[in-house]
């Protein structure tokens, strides 16, 4: 597998300009002759579909939900970063770039991250022009807050619903193009395969969730904006339908998968309540701006929070990291919470939680001020847990939240399959080993609104396209494979359900294995154990899973089964990647590689690279390829938040 990053020449701040100048363009009158398939309608996919249609291309957009307004970008709460420096507090494009590279623990590509910081400002302008109601100061200018460890206020927000408002902005732009006839919208479609013709991605095979019909769609190129793979852990903050199927199908057709072990575990989620828990809910990280994290000093403490005196409380983040305190990056906060719980200082009925306490902030600023800032989050918490955070501390615990790994892409956002692009969380490109708060929305919209169009034009302008339609043999054989696979999923469905298991039971088993051995802290022994257990789970799935109904109509069990089958296959490269990366970096903590202070210890001499996994066929070991990372503008340093 050849991994050419195709980073343009020139100094860092000129690369994106140079790229756009040297790229091929497509004449406006010719654009209607090209067709583009975009899978996913989140911030990346939705913005890309609207933008490419505005430019004149014929766009086919696909989503799994009943409408493009529901993609999981909608659930992002906290905000979106940009280097506007509206607060005059020393921000700049270079500082946003530097913070992102450093936050990612020097495991991302400089040129991609710099481009992200460069276009961040345009995103805010674009969204405001669409009518996105970002919070304002009393004087009417845009408000900002500091977020997740940043020492400047660069985060724009719309109450605790920033993702919703940004997504509805992209959805409205997309709706305008649907009305104009430039986007054909296909809802309730699940992508089942990428179709490759003469070495290029030329279409997809999808299943219509309502009719069960298998459909082929051809185009000149395919863009995947299909999100992350957090649900490989069963419990995560991802939506129920979030899955890795599109990316795994691409991987099996020849797309390299980069850094799958980089999984962000978010420190402020609502703790698990019991065995029937179906997903976890995030509480915005902005809460750490005013909330103080603590656990009782005494192990196995049984008193209520209010009855524990100050001197018996362990404010472990403030004590250990005096300069960042409660605002340390996500990976550091998560790991410390786990350590405290593992040591027996956890709180709540399961002992798997820590306190996030607003008492001091309420006393300092007044109940009104705190409620105005966090009221909607407090209400959300109260709805789920039945406790009012204005009166008692919240309980929080880390949960799988975001996946930095993804399909490998070059500077053009193109995977190793020519003509197959990946944008947003679906690619690996910008966040390295750890993503900063409020940067996911920024990356999704940067890719969708501002980056992909130039890349698409360059690709279309430099290649010749033979006419390909859905009767091509590659489409027919893809359909057959998809149909065979569906039949295979249903093979245990005759002869009743006795002695068989449900899809969720196996998904939970997979999730538990991944959480226990490939979660917040990993070691060689545990990862090897997981690798040994995975084939058994796969075997059990194919031998025992029982799916009622048929392929020919609405069958939610069948949908989930297809996704879980791919999660099982995918889990293997997550574990292999975690095993192969013998260092700790960002969210990936290998217990063998820590500083004396139990911080992640990088090993730049051996691991300053992107690990890219190549599919080599069923039953054969995937191959590890390397893209070395070079740093010309920043010097990798050991992160310290003391």
Partner 1 sequence: MSEINLTLKIWRQPNAEAEGKVETYSVENISTDSSFLEMLDVLNEKLTHEGVDPVAFDHDCREGICGMCGAVVNGVAHGPEKETTLCQLHMRHFKNGDTIVIEPFRSRAFPIYKDLMIDRSAFDRIIQAGGYTNVNTGGTPDANSVRISSQQLELAMDAAACIGCGACVASCPNGSAMLFTSAKVSQLALLPQGQVERKERAQAMVQCMDGEGFGHCTNTKECEAVCPKGISISNIARLNREFLKGIFTGRDD
Interacting residues with partner 1 between 303 and 342 (CB under 8 A):
none
> Which residue among 26, 206, 224, 282 contacts partner 1 (CB under 8 A)?
282
Candidate segments 94-102, 108-116, 221-229, 273-281, binder of partner 1 by CB under 8 A = 273-281
Distances (CA, A) of 507 to 124, 191, 538, 548, 568: 39, 20, 10, 17, 8
Among 241, 362, 486, 589, binds partner 1 (CB under 8 A): 241
- 43 near 447, Cβ under 8 Å? no
Where does residue 494 rank: exposed (0-12), middle (13-18), buried (19+ CB within 10 A)? Answer: exposed
What residues form DSSP beta bridges with 53? none
Question: Could you tell me which stretch among 131-139, 298-306, 388-396, 593-601 binds partner 1 (CB under 8 A)?
Answer: 131-139
**Residue 204: HSE in the Cβ half-sphere, 13 Å Cα cutoff:** 30
Query: Tokens 């472990």 sit at which residue?
Result: 316
Minimal distance, residue 214 CB to partner 1, in Å: 18
Among positions 139, 300, 309, 619, the unique one binding partner 1 when judged by CB under 8 A: 139
Phi/psi for 501 (5° steps) reads -125, 165
Of 92 and 187, CB closest to partner 1: 187
Q: Whole-number minimum distance, CB 130 to partner 1, in Å? A: 6
Q: Can residue 375 be called a binding residue for partner 1 (CB under 8 A)?
A: no
In the range 444-503, which residues lie near partner 1 by CB under 8 A?
449-450, 453, 496-497, 502
Least distance between partner 1 and beta carbon 521 (Å): 27
Stretch that binds partner 1, among 90-98, 161-169, 568-576, 589-597 (CB under 8 A): 161-169
Site string for partner 1, 30-69 (x = CB under 8 A): -----------------x--xx--x----------xxxxx
Q: Can you tell me the distance from the alpha carbon of 605 to that of 106, in angstroms, rounded to the nearest whole number?
A: 13
Q: Residues 383 to 442: which contact partner 1 by CB under 8 A?
A: 383-386
Kindly state the tokens that stand for 566. Answer: 């791919």
CB of 168 vs partner 1, minimal distance in Å: 7
Residue 330 annotated among the catalytic residues of the structure: yes
* Given 535, 554, 592, 595, the residue binding partner 1 (CB under 8 A): 554
- Write down the catalytic residue from 31, 330, 335, 563: 330
Q: Between residue 105 and residue 124, which ones bind partner 1 under the rule CB under 8 A?
A: 122, 124
Nearest to 308 by CA among 294, 319, 292: 294
Q: How far is CA 272 from CA 111, 237, 399, 504, in A?
A: 40, 12, 9, 17
> From the CB of 52, what's the least distance to partner 1, in Å?
9
Of residues 198, 191, 2, 113, the one with CA closest to residue 428: 113
From 16-24, 250-258, 260-268, 272-280, give the range in contact with partner 1 by CB under 8 A. 272-280
Residue with tokens 């975009």: 38
| Minimum separation from the CB atom of position 590 to partner 1 (A) | 32
DSSP code string of 85-144: -TT-SS--HHHHHHHHHHHTTT-S-HHHHHHHHHHHHHHHHHHHHHT----B-TTSSBP-
Just list the catalytic residues: 330
């Amino acid at each position: 597998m050849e991994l050419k990053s195709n980073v343009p020449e020139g100094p860092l701040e000129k690369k994106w300009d140079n790229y756009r100048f040297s790229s091929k363009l497509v004449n406006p009158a010719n654009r209607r002759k090209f067709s583009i398939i975009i899978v996913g309608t989140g911030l990346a996919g939705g913005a890309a579909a609207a933008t490419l249609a505005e430019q004149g291309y014929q766009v086919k957009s696909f989503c799994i939900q009943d409408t493009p307004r529901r993609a999981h970008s909608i659930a992002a709460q906290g905000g979106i970063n940009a280097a506007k420096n509206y607060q005059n507090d020393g921000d700049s494009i270079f500082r946003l770039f530097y913070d992102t590279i450093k936050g990612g623990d020097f495991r991302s590509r400089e040129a991609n991250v710099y481009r992200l910081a460069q276009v961040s400002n345009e995103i805010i302008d674009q969204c405001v022009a669409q009518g996105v109601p970002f919070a304002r100061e009393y004087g009417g200018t845009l408000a900002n807050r500091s977020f997740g460890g940043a020492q400047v206020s660069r985060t724009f927000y719309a109450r605790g619903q920033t993702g919703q408002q940004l997504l509805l902005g992209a959805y409205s732009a997309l709706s305008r193009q649907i009305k104009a006839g430039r986007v054909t919208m296909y809802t309730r479609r699940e992508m089942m395969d990428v179709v490759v013709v003469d070495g290029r991605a030329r279409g997809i095979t999808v299943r219509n969730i309502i009719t069960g019909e298998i459909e082929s769609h051809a185009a000149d190129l395919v863009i995947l904006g299909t999100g992350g793979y957090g649900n490989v852990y069963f419990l995560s903050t991802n939506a129920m339908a979030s899955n890795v199927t599109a990316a795994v199908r691409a991987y099996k057709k020849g797309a390299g998968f980069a850094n799958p072990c980089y999984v962000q575990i978010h420190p402020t989620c609502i703790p698990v309540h019991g065995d029937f828990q179906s997903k976890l809910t995030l509480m915005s990280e902005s809460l750490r701006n005013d909330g103080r994290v603590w656990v009782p000093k005494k192990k196995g403490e049984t008193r209520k929070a209010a009855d524990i005196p100050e001197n018996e409380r362990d404010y472990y983040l403030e004590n250990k990291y005096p300069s960042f305190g409660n605002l340390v990056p996500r990976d550091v906060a998560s790991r410390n919470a786990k350590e405290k719980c593992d040591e027996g200082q956890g709180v709540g009925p399961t002992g798997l939680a820590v306190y996030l306490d607003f008492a001091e902030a309420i006393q300092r600023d007044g109940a009104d001020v705190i409620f105005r800032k966090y009221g909607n989050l407090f209400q959300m918490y109260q709805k789920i847990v039945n406790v009012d955070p204005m009166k008692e501390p919240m309980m929080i615990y880390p949960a799988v939240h975001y996946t930095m790994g993804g399909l490998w892409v070059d500077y053009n956002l193109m995977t190793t399959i020519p003509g197959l692009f990946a944008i947003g969380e679906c690619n690996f490109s910008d966040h390295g080993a750890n993503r900063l708060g409020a940067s996911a929305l920024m990356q999704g919209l940067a890719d969708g609104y501002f980056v992909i169009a130039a890349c698409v034009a360059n690709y279309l302008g430099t290649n010749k396209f033979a006419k390909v339609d859905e009767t091509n043999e590659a489409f027919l054989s893809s359909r057959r494979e998809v149909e065979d696979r569906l039949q295979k999923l249903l093979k245990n469905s005759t002869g009743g359900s006795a002695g068989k298991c449900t899809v969720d039971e196996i998904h939970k088993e997979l999730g538990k294995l991944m959480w226990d051995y490939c979660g917040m802290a990993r070691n060689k022994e545990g990862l090897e154990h997981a690798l040994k257990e995975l084939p058994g789970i796969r075997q059990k799935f194919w031998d025992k899973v029982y799916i009622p109904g048929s392929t020919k109509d609405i069958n939610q069990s069948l949908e989930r089964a297809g996704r879980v089958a791919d999660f099982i296959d995918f889990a293997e490269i997550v574990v292999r990647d975690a095993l192969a990366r013998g260092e700790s970096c960002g969210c990936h903590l290998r217990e063998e590689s820590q500083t004396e202070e139990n911080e992640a210890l990088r090993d730049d001499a051996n691991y300053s690279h992107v690990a890219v996994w190549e599919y080599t066929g069923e039953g054969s070991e995937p191959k590890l390829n390397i893209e070395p990372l070079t740093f010309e503008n920043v010097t990798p340093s050991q992160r310290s938040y003391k």
